[in-house]
Amino acid sequence: MTADDLKPRRELLEQWADEKRKPPDAGGPASRARLAARNAGYWIATGYRRLADRILDRGLDTAGGRREPEHDHPDRVLYVPSDWHVLPRALRYIGVSSHDTFIDFGCGNGRILHQAAKRPFRRVIGIEISPALAEIARRNLATHRDRHRCGSVEVVVCDVADYAVPDEVTVAFLYHPVANETFDAVIESIIDSIDRTPRRVRLIYNLPVQKSNVLATTRFRLLTEQRSWFIGDPGARTVIFEST
């Protein structure tokens, strides 16, 4: 994996910028039409994200990306919050019950935790390597506790590669928080937990850069792929897996 692959969110935007720099006649009418659609989709998606943050992020402080000192490792990816629609859309697909436990690997400022806690999960867990981001997440969760249906929400400061996945976890969320061997270690930890306590586990993987690594384990099957609502949006694709 190249150095660019370690920053997939930025890479997608760089690919879009490269296409914009191509000569107007490159590729013929069909190519120009596709490029125009992608350009329009990008700007529409960008506008949607800004509007959603203005409305939904009020009082939460989860907008914007951050790189903390703990992220300075080849396998770590800078923190960028997931779009507001990603988790609700995925949870509508898989369903949630009071028997489910949710975990977010690389929870950052806690946007996904806040959204998950509004559902009837038995327990919600966030794992974050940065103490600074974890403290923001805890503050956000405490401030909005009255909006939560889940009574047990916690943020653990830990390297995801070292975290032993609890045997009760049934829904895991990843917004490409890590890459390479560290990502594989997270998936192996989930598999180890399933082996200890056999159960159905669903993985919600946003920006699935290492989708093939999950399938290569042969322990998960692909349930669905949810693409962005905006044609040409370079930043949003989510795959959902289920343990076999």
The pLDDT > 70 percentage for the chain reads 77
The helix (H) or strand (E) run that includes residue 102 is strand 101-105
Place of tokens 């997270």: 186
**Bigger pLDDT: 67 or 189?**
189
Nearest to 77 by CA among 146, 168, 180: 180
- What is the identity of the amino acid at 205? Y
Q: Which residues of 56-66 are buried (b: 16+ CB within 10 A; e: fewer)?
A: bbeebebbeee
Please indicate whether residue 59 or residue 33 has the higher confidence score (pLDDT). Answer: 59
For residues 203 and 8, what is the distance between their CA atoms, to the nearest angstrom?
A: 19
Q: Could you say which architecture CATH assigns to the domain 69-243?
A: 3-Layer(aba) Sandwich (3.40)
Q: Are 70 and 162 in contact (CB under 8 A)?
A: no
Cα–Cα distances in angstroms (integers) from residue 61 to residues 53, 85, 108, 158, in the given order: 9, 17, 11, 22
Q: What is the mean pLDDT of the chain?
A: 84
Question: Cα 79 to chain center, whole Å?
Answer: 10
Give the pLDDT of residue 99: 96
Amino acid symbol at 63: A
Q: Where are the domains of the chain?
A: 69-243
Residue with tokens 């959902």: 240
Which residues are 220's β-sheet partners? 243
pLDDT in the model for residue 43: 59
- Close Cβ partners of 159 (under 8 Å, ≥ 6 residues apart): 129
Q: CA-to-CA distance for 37 and 34, rounded, in angstroms?
A: 5
- pLDDT for residue 5: 45
Residue 126: CB atoms within 10 A of its CB come to: 29
Quick check: helix, strand or coil at residue 160?
A: helix
* 145-171 pLDDT, tens digit each: 999 999 999 999 999 999 999 999 999
Residue with token string 């929870």? 107
Q: How confident is the model at residue 32 (pLDDT cuts 50, 70, 90)?
A: low
pLDDT in tens, 69-88: 788 787 877 788 888 899 99
Residue 190 and residue 41: Cα distance in Å, rounded?
Answer: 35
pLDDT single digits (tens) 37-47: 566 656 566 77
The two tokens of residue 59 are: 């009082």
What is the rounded CA–CA span in Å between residue 116 and residue 105? 13
